[in-house]
Structure formats: C-alpha cells, structure tokens
Amino acid sequence: MASREGQGFVVIILTFLFAYVLAVVPLPGWLQWARPEWVALTLIYWCIALPQRVGIAAAVLLGVGLDVLEGSVLGQNAFALVVVALLSQLLYQRLRVYSLWQQAVVVFILVGINQLICQWVQSIEGVSVLPRLFLLPALSSALLWPVILHSLRGLRRYYQVS
C-alpha cells in the first residue's frame, strides 16, 4: 500500500512539473496573450479528483514556485492559486457531477479569478495591462479543459492514483 501511495505522489508531482514546463515554453508574440494557465488547470483537476491529497498547501508551494519561475512578485501566484484551490475544494462534489461544458464554464471563472488577482497585484506594482486581453488565458484554459480532464483522468486511472 505504501508503494502505491508513493507512486501516486510521484505521478501528481510529475504532472505539476510538466505544467511548469508548459508554463514557460516560449510562444510567438501574438499567442503569448492567450497562454493557458497550465499550473492552475492541473491544480483544479487534482483538487477535484483528490481533494484530500491536493489542496491549499500544494497551491502555496506551486504558487511560490511559479512566482520564482516567472520572476513575478513573490506571493502573487501563491495567493491566486490558493484562492483557486479553495474554491475548487469547496465546489469539488458539485463539479464532479457537472457536464463537461459546465465544468469548462466553472474553469473559466476560476482561471478568470486567478487572472484578476494577478492583474490586480501587477497594477499595484505599476505594470500596465491591456484590460480587454487579460481574460484570454481564462478562455484558452476553459477550451483546453476537456483535454486536461481526460488526459489527467487517464493518467490517474492508469497509475491507480487515489
């Protein structure tokens, strides 16, 4: 039993590391504004699938790591991901029974809240952002949600992560 739990922990960590890699992969300038929030998407999935294993503590660690990776204000992404994880854990039972498109709408809202918090912190430090474009990552994340959901669910079932 201990080896299966250890294997599950490794699978979860590897999915977050892959999300980090996708978060920093260079994109063309026109596509940069629509970069999906890979770490937030992965966190939302694991908070819904395994709320007893992945939650607020994981969100803090992931957020600080993302802050370091992106060179943003320390705590910006941590705070945003904590809010996303908290809301995901509050809604996980409801989200599990929603249809795929309803889940995508909730993911749009959750990632939109994430973006709103990050933009708020950036505006406090004086970084200007085009107001019409800051929700593009939420839209692209919601559109990718079915792919993320089926991929991570397949991985979770294949490796029997519970």
User: In the prediction, which pLDDT does 114 show?
Assistant: 97
* Mean pLDDT score, 82-87: 98
Delimit the domains of the chain by residue range.
2-158
| Geometric angle at alpha carbon 79, from 128 and 24, rounded to 5° | 65
The chain-wide mean pLDDT, for the chain, equals: 93
Name the strand (E) or helix (H) holding 35: none
More confident residue, 3 or 81: 81
How large is the C-alpha radius of gyration of the chain? Answer: 15
Name the strand (E) or helix (H) holding 99: none
Q: Over 70: is that where the pLDDT of 139 sits? A: yes
Lowest-pLDDT range, 32-36, 37-41, 137-141, 142-146?
32-36
CA–CA separation, 144 vs 158, rounded Å? 21
